[in-house]
Amino acid sequence: MKYLRYHIVAILLMLGFALETSAQTKVEVLTKTVEKSFGYRSGNTVKIVGESARINVTGWDRSEVKVVFKLIAKGLTKAEAERELKYQKYLIKDFDKEHVIKNFLLIPNELKELKTIQETEMTVFVPKKAKLIIENQYGETSLNNLDQKFTVVSEYGYTELSQVTGDFELESNFGDLLISDASGEMKLTLYLTKTTSDQFSGEGYV
C-alpha cells in the first residue's frame, strides 16, 4: 500500500468541531504508549521533530535520554479509532552524532478524510547539558530545567521556556511565546508571535 504524508490540521479542526457538537454521542478514545531510553554521549545533538504534537522536554541529571510517546485517536466508534490510530508513526534513530526523535502521520492515498482526531504527546527527558534542536509545527512545545545551547523552531504553535540557562535561539512564526526564569544569551526571530517574558537575565537579541 502506498502512503502519502501530509498535514491534516484543517481536517482535525473540523473533526474536533464535529465531535464537540455531538455532545450526546459517546466518543471513543484510544491511547498507545511507547517508552524508550538510550544512552547519550557528551557533544551529541538530540533533535526532536513534531507534527501537531505536544512536546515536553525536561533536563535531568542522568546520562541518558528517555522518550515517552502517547499516540491518541478520538472517534465516534472504537473501530474507527483503532484503524486510524495505526496511521500515527514515530521514529527514534541515531545518525552519527545526532539522535533523532520524531512523530508523523502516514495516511493511505485512497483515504479522502480522517474520521478521528489524532493527537500526539512526546515527553522527553534529556541530560541538562545536552545539545538540543526542536522543530514543531501546529503544536505545543515546552522546555524546562536545561543548561546548554539549544535551538527551537515553532510554526503556528505555543512555546514555553522555564528554568533554562545558556545560549539559545528561538524562531516562532504565527504563535505564542512565554519565557520565564531564563538566563543567558537569547536570540529571537519572531513573526506575528505574541510574547510574554518574566524573570529573564542576560542578553537578548530580536
pLDDT of residue 181: 86
58-95 residues labelled b (16+ CB within 10 A) or e (exposed): bbeeeeebebebbbbbbbbeeebbeebbebbebeeeee
pLDDT of residue 8: 44
pLDDT of residue 3: 40
pLDDT of residue 149: 87
- Mean pLDDT per segment of 10 residues, for the chain of length 206 residues? 42 52 75 96 95 97 97 96 96 93 95 94 96 97 93 97 92 95 90 87 58
**What is the spatial distance between Cα 175 and Cα 120, in angstroms, rounded to a whole number?**
19
The C-alpha cell at 42 is 557528551
pLDDT of residue 5: 41
Q: Within 13 Å and on the Cβ side, how many CA atoms surround 10? A: 2
Element (H, E) at 15: helix 9-21
pLDDT of residue 6: 41
pLDDT of residue 201: 66
pLDDT of residue 23: 52
- Identify whether the C-beta of residue 117 lies closer than 8 Å to the C-beta of residue 136: no
Nearest to 22 by CA among 75, 71, 79, 80: 75
